[in-house]
Amino acid sequence: MSADQVKEPTEAANAFAILGDFKAKAPASAATATVTKEIEKDIQQVAADNGFHSREAKPVNAAKARRFNAAEPKKQLNIKIPVPMHERYYRMASERGINVLHELLGDALDALEELEALKAANEKRE
């Protein structure tokens, strides 16, 4: 086929054509589906005697979810910083044993406010 010739569109295959002869299974008869309590008890006894365990999950007491530092609400703060500042931030947190990074930011903000208050007090004295 050359580039000038137009290819005729072909009809898409019908994916469901093979299902034309499909017939649903008949429901199971009541005789085969019924397991009496006596049979169930026998099954449980045979399983226990042979070391087979039940696949049913045992009820578990749900532990109260622990929330770290849940006393105060949180807000997300996303900022882009230069790589050296990022490395410096993590290094300073590591040196101070800080695992929760917002604590280092809080300490930095506290120090900045303290410095500004000292500068304002010095300006008033002059």
The 10s digit of each residue's pLDDT in 8-44 is: 766 677 777 777 777 777 776 655 667 788 888 888 8
Q: How far is CA 42 from the centre of its chain?
A: 42
Using a 10 angstrom Cβ sphere, with 0-12 exposed, 13-18 middle and 19 or more buried, the burial of residue 7 is exposed
What rounded mean pLDDT belongs to the chain?
Answer: 81
Q: For residue 90, give the nearest of 54, 7, 81, 47 by alpha carbon.
A: 81
Tokens of 73: 């609400």
| Inter-helix orientation angle 83-95/101-125, to 10° | 100
Residues 6+ apart with CB under 8 A from 104: 89, 92, 93, 96, 98
74 pLDDT band, cuts 50/70/90, is confident
95 pLDDT band, cuts 50/70/90, is very high
- Global pTM? 0.43
